[in-house]
Amino acid sequence: MGSIEYIMAPLAGYTDVPFRRMCWRHGLDRGHTALIDAGALVYGNKENPTILARCPEDRWLAAQLMGSRLDLLEKAAPMLNAMDYDAIDFNMGCPVKKVVQRHAGAALLKMPEHALECVKLLRDLIAKPLTVKLRILDEANPEPTLALCQKLEEVGVEGITIHGRLASRIYSGPVAFLVIRAVREGLRIPVTANGGIVDVATCRALHEGTGCDRLMVARGAIGNPWIFKSLKEGVDYRPSHQELCETLREHLSGMVSEYGEAAGLVNGRKIILAYMGGRGYRRSLKAGVCQISTWSEFLNFMELLEQDQPNLS
């Protein structure tokens, strides 16, 4: 679909090194780490190394920072400056309850002056390109979203990603193409459109509806790294049963290398189910996934999976 750039969204619990490695292989253009909380970064949370890890395949990688406390952002900024990232992206769009309760993510949209203060602080302290990810403020009227984005541009951010749904809608409902288009037409900096891409048709609709040449893929890539191949070639690609099994095995092997056997396989259960989802695999086979906790159990499961013949009718 032309010269469009396809960007992987930051997804907590998903977009780690093994996940991105699969996506790069199939055509990803830009990647993000999962969300890193400013406080967790400053105080040295034990999960930081895996969230912040970068692999050789990461041709372009931004760290996704969230937070709302100026004192913590001030300490986190120089730490990120010292790390190997191509940009820092500040999250003003995550609608998850535990994030919003900390006045971060989408909660900042209800505190625009404080949000701008946070971004100004980061802009002054971060030497790398700084971008912002947010959600729309009104589904019918582009003006509130455009006004906030123009202020962010004035502060000096070098790009904005807009998820075209209200934070209250989480991931449901239509994407407000016209609001994103109005922002794209009203700014000089690049605007990335986000929301609803699960296949070629939904990607084309987002591209044509917003006019954006930067498109962000989120949940549509979970269990489906081939989505980037589909979008690049303009035809929905369906992996063979054998290819799916080989990719899943490699993905889980990467998770075990990254997290260790126990944590890698517990975290990997949702990955296994995502690869199997909507592809005709037996329900009884899926039921056994929640029992996998050792590599040998995973290999036994893979033997059963490889022998299965999915029913796609």
Number of domains observed in the structure of the chain:
2
CATH code of the domain containing 256: 1.10.1200
pTM of the model: 0.94
Considering the candidates 94, 149, 203, 245, report the single residue annotated as catalytic. Answer: 94
Q: 291 and 157 in one domain?
A: no
Q: 115 and 257 in one domain?
A: no
| Per-residue pLDDT, 309 | 77
Least confident residue range of 72-81, 143-152, 248-257, 301-310:
301-310
| Per-residue pLDDT, 313 | 47
| Per-residue pLDDT, 308 | 84
Domain finish residue from 187, 210, 233: 233
205-263 tens-digit pLDDT = 999 999 999 999 999 999 999 999 999 999 999 999 999 999 999 999 999 999 999 99
The residue-averaged pLDDT of 82-107 equals 92
| Per-residue pLDDT, 3 | 87
Q: 265 and 175 in one domain?
A: no
Which residue, 98, 102, 173, is CA-closest to 135? 173
Three state DSSP letters for 67-81: CCCHHHHHHHHHHHH
170-219 tens-digit pLDDT = 888 899 999 999 999 999 999 999 999 999 999 999 999 999 999 999 99
Q: 283 and 153 in one domain?
A: no
Report the side by side order of strands in the sheet with 61-66. Answer: 5-8, 214-217, 191-194, 159-163, 130-135, 87-92, 61-66, 31-37
Q: Is residue 15 in a domain?
A: yes
Average pLDDT, the chain: 94
Q: 190 and 299 in one domain?
A: no
Catalytic annotation on 94? yes
User: How big is the chain by its Cα radius of gyration, in Å?
Assistant: 20
Q: Is residue 312 in a domain?
A: no
Q: Is residue 313 in a domain?
A: no
Q: 53 and 31 in one domain?
A: yes
Q: 65 lies in which domain range?
A: 5-233
